[in-house]
Amino acid sequence: MIMKLENLLAKMTLEQKLAQISQCNAVYLHVGASDDVTGPEQELSLKKEEVVAVGSTLNYSGAKEMISIQKEHLHNDPNQIPLLFMMDVIHGYRTVYPIPLALGASFDTALVEECCEMASEEMVLGGVHVTFAPMVDLVRDPRWGRCMETTGEDTYLNCEMARAMVRGFQKSGKAAACVKHFAAYGQAEAGRDYNTTDISERTLRDFYLPAYQAAIDEGAEMVMTSFNILNGIPSSGNKWLVKELLRDEWGFDKIVISDYNAFREMHIHGYCATEKDCAEKAIQATTDIEMMSACYLQQIPTLIAEGKVSEKQIDEAVLRVLRLKEKLGLLDNPYLYADEEQEMSVCLCEKHREIARRAAEKSAVLLKNENVLPFDKNKAKRIAVIGPFADKTMLGQWHCHGREEDGLGVFSAVKRMLPNAEVFFAQGCDEKINATDCEPISEAVELAKKCDDVILCVGEDTYMSGEGMSRAELRLSKAQQTLIREVVKANQNTVVVLFCGRPLVLTDIIDDIPALVLAWQPGTEGGNALANLLFGNVNFSGKLSMTFPRSEGQIPIYYNSYRTGRPFEAPYGSWYQDMPNAPLYPFGYGLSYTSFAISKPEISADTMKIGESLTVSVDVRNTGDRSGETVVQLYICDDYASLVRPVKELKAYQKIGLKPNESKKVSFEITEEMLKFWTANGKFEAEIGSFTVWISDSSNVKDGVKFSLIN
């Protein structure tokens, strides 16, 4: 096979090779469409013939269209090398499951794997070969709109989720996962998308890099570089990052692709004076595919002629692309699994809806409940569903082919679930981010007064979070706040259901809310999932994947911050005069319709030898009167180290289910691996000394136990 690829390479001209490592939007390639499209010439500065000569395309799918584009391409391609079709299948292809930040809150890797497997099955029938996922950028700033695409603020949780996603997407062997955005894109200063990232090597290695590495270890076929500069250098041209770290240190020999137009943006950044410079920096960094700009196509021939780049470097990049094409089977069958009929029947099938519904149920977080929930489905006679999102399918920004009409909003779902109840709808107020106006409020208030139960659906619409959707203020709009206050005044039996793609600041309104459910952007089956949760068919088990701050002024705020010398809240302590340090809701937090008691941890020994392990256990009891699941979380602090360590770090968790009054011993093995960090020696290693361990159902911990690591 290797011979076959090398023979193929030997037949290719330089231009044909450069086409393989260039990617453009399928609309430019579309049969008959390129004449009308005012794109390729201006956007890519390419001639039409050059646009046709690319090796892959992005964000275009659907079996029928894919087959026609591929046919047209092969008609023109002298070497008969099919296009790779790539797409952002981030949380579903047609059946949309909850946004990744919500999936993080499920703490359920098996479920996350199932979701990605389902998305992968749908997308390959639609002719997609590579998904630009998982996105594993660690995030500590909810102003950044792309929080919704990550699994949150914790390194360990992100690693577990990254692995699960890669397994799910690639399980069938029919598709490839592209982990992104390498590296540290989530650290954008001031939460503004595409902004600067400046970060020490130890923080990078301890917190930001592990999830990319986990995805790669799990077999991810591609890596996408990030838009941002990392310590002064844009990632696509960062030789240290891509060549030295990713390839030489981690051994990644598969495809690296740039983000959209990121090569040319190296010029806008002020890092490359010309497009020739962009191409040179990128190829020296070993970034293989250029997405949506044409520096390679246009500049590499001159760079080779000048002796600045060798054709061998180009061959290596081309071979990586051809290898993936071969591995997926494209070189033998250019249409692979694209099948219009099957695509129609598999997308949105009952099995896939059930997975999406379960994911929405398991990722919702119950933040507050003062005897409101669950509503009694047998007693409820009149139910009001109010708010700008009361009857909308909340899909989230990257909903791919998902459509609102594929699902039900909460109002329609409740109506369907309770055919004998009277279910009413009122919009209450406008959905816009800056809405102050609350015109239809009196109708909503009157409705709330005459109903037994009220469900108030507020928050952010689908496009208020996601790429380019940063916010400086994270409060609900004035109109939504007024609506909540007035409706709750009219009827205390109200639950606020919050749709959002990031933590919001709820401090101003939280005391007015008797019950609060965080639904995130739950996807196609979100309405049905919420109906099940609110009326107690299903219990809540989600836990926050990201801290909810009290105020934007606390940002960045995350549970695993480094220790300070003045941790106390008093004058000359590390504190705020005007508010507590603590967030409104911490990472790992979430309520249930039942309660759990966790005993003080017991440890199998006071000392642990390097290379050995010990066990720490607790008894967990369901002390309420319903069955339920909780996430038992293990946190560790390295008490004294060669570099100051975080106050605590999540190192393991188990999601367990218990019946009323049932109890279970939950044990964790503490290994040397868990104690490692990037030490003052510039190595990942565990240092001897004492450690504190806690086991809790949130990052608010108490009653730790200690042990010492010894030689």
- Listed in sequence order, the residues at least 6 apart from 646 whose beta carbon sits closer than 8 Å to its beta carbon are 560, 561, 562, 563, 637
Which residue of 77, 221, 259, 460 would you call a contact of ligand NOJ, by CB under 6 A? 259
CB nearer to ligand NOJ: pick between 227 and 535: 227
Q: Which of residues 120-159 bind ligand NOJ (CB under 6 A)?
A: 132
Dist CA 123 CA 89 (whole Å): 8
- Residue 87-116 contact track with ligand NOJ, rule CB under 6 A, x = bound: -x----------------------------
Binding-residue pattern over the window 179 to 218 for ligand NOJ, x denoting contact by CB under 6 A: -x--------------------------------------
- HEC profile of 426-454: ECCCCCCCCCCCCCCHHHHHHHHHHCCEE
Cβ 85 to ligand NOJ shortest distance, Å: 13
- Least distance between ligand NOJ and beta carbon 44 (Å): 15
Between the alpha carbon of residue 468 and those of residues 133, 191, 347, the distances in Å are: 18, 10, 29
The least distance separating ligand NOJ from the CB of residue 164, rounded to whole angstroms, comes to 19
Is residue 259 part of the annotated active site? The answer reads: yes
Q: How remote is the C-alpha of 322 from its chain's centroid?
A: 29
467 belongs to the binding site for ligand NOJ (CB under 6 A): yes
Residue 225 or 532: the one with the smaller Cβ distance to ligand NOJ is: 225
CB atoms under 10 Å from CB of 419, counted, come to: 7
Nearer to ligand NOJ, 107 or 398 (CB): 398
- Nearer residue to ligand NOJ within complex by CB, 244 or 467: 467
Nearer residue to ligand NOJ within complex by CB, 464 or 693: 464
Q: Which residue is nearest to ligand NOJ (CB)?
A: 132
> How many residues does this entry show for the chain?
711
Catalytic residue (choose from 259, 391, 406, 461) = 259
Among 85, 260, 411, 694, binds ligand NOJ (CB under 6 A): 260
Which residue among 59, 231, 551, 663 contacts ligand NOJ (CB under 6 A)?
A: 59
Which of 19, 21, 58, 584 is in the footprint of ligand NOJ by CB under 6 A?
A: 58
255 binds ligand NOJ (CB under 6 A): no
Q: Are 362 and 504 in contact (CB under 8 A)?
A: no
Q: Is 289 in the site for ligand NOJ (CB under 6 A)?
A: no
> Residue 194 carries which side chain, given as an amino acid letter?
Y
**Alpha-carbon distance 619 to 640, whole Å?**
29
Peptide bond into 374 cis (omega under 30): yes
The residues pairing with 182 across neighbouring beta strands, listed in sequence order, are 225
Cα 156–Cα 158–Cα 160 angle in degrees, nearest 5:
70
| Ranges assigned E (strand) in 500-624 | 515-518, 596-598, 602-603, 607-609, 613-622
- Please, which of residues 69-88 interact with ligand NOJ by CB under 6 A? 88
Eight-class DSSP state of 204? I
Q: Considering beta carbons, is residue 88 or 275 the nearer one to ligand NOJ?
A: 88
Q: How far is the CB of 86 from ligand NOJ (least distance, A)?
A: 8
Q: Could you tell me which residues come within 8 angstroms of residue 578 by beta carbon, excluding any fewer than 6 positions away?
A: none
88 vs 221, beta carbon nearer ligand NOJ:
88
Q: Segment 351-390, which members bind ligand NOJ (CB under 6 A)? A: none
Residues 562-581 as x/- pattern, contact with ligand NOJ by CB under 6 A: --------------------
**Residue 545 near residue 153 (C-beta atoms within 8 A):** yes
Q: How many residues bind ligand NOJ (CB under 6 A)?
A: 8
Beta bridge partners of 615: 669
Residue pair 152/203 in contact (Cβ under 8 Å)? The answer is no
Q: Specify the 3-state DSSP secondary structure of 576.
A: coil
Looking at the Cβ atoms of 255 and 447, the one nearer to ligand NOJ is 255
- Residues 546, 138: contact at Cβ < 8 Å? no
Across 17-159, the runs of DSSP E, i.e. the strands, are 22-25, 56-58, 84-87, 130-131
User: Least CB distance from residue 260 to ligand NOJ, whole Å?
Assistant: 4
Which residues bind to ligand NOJ, rule: CB under 6 A? 58-59, 88, 132, 180, 259-260, 467
Catalytic residues: 259
